Amino acid sequence: MTPASCKAKGRNLQNMVCDTLRTLYQCHPDDIRPAIMGESGEDIKVSPAMRTRFPYSIECKNQERISIWEALSQAENHARTKKTVPALIFHRNRSKTWVAIPLEDWVALLSVLDASREAV
Residues 44-69 have pLDDT tens digits of 999 999 999 999 999 999 999 999 99
| pLDDT score recorded for residue 88 | 98
**Report field, pTM of the whole predicted structure over 0.85:** yes
CATH assignment of 3-118? Answer: 3.40.1350
Question: For 38-47, which contacts have Cβ atoms below 8 Å and span 24 or more sequence positions?
Answer: 41/78, 41/81, 42/78, 42/82, 43/10, 43/14, 43/17, 44/14, 44/17, 44/18
pLDDT value at 9 more than 80 = no
Average pLDDT, the chain: 92
pLDDT value at 119 more than 80 = no
Local confidence band at 30 (pLDDT 50, 70, 90 cut-offs): very high
Local confidence band at 72 (pLDDT 50, 70, 90 cut-offs): very high
| pLDDT score recorded for residue 33 | 97
Q: Residue 114: CA atoms inside 13 Å, Cβ hemisphere, count?
A: 6
Q: Where are the domains of the chain?
A: 3-118
Local confidence band at 84 (pLDDT 50, 70, 90 cut-offs): very high
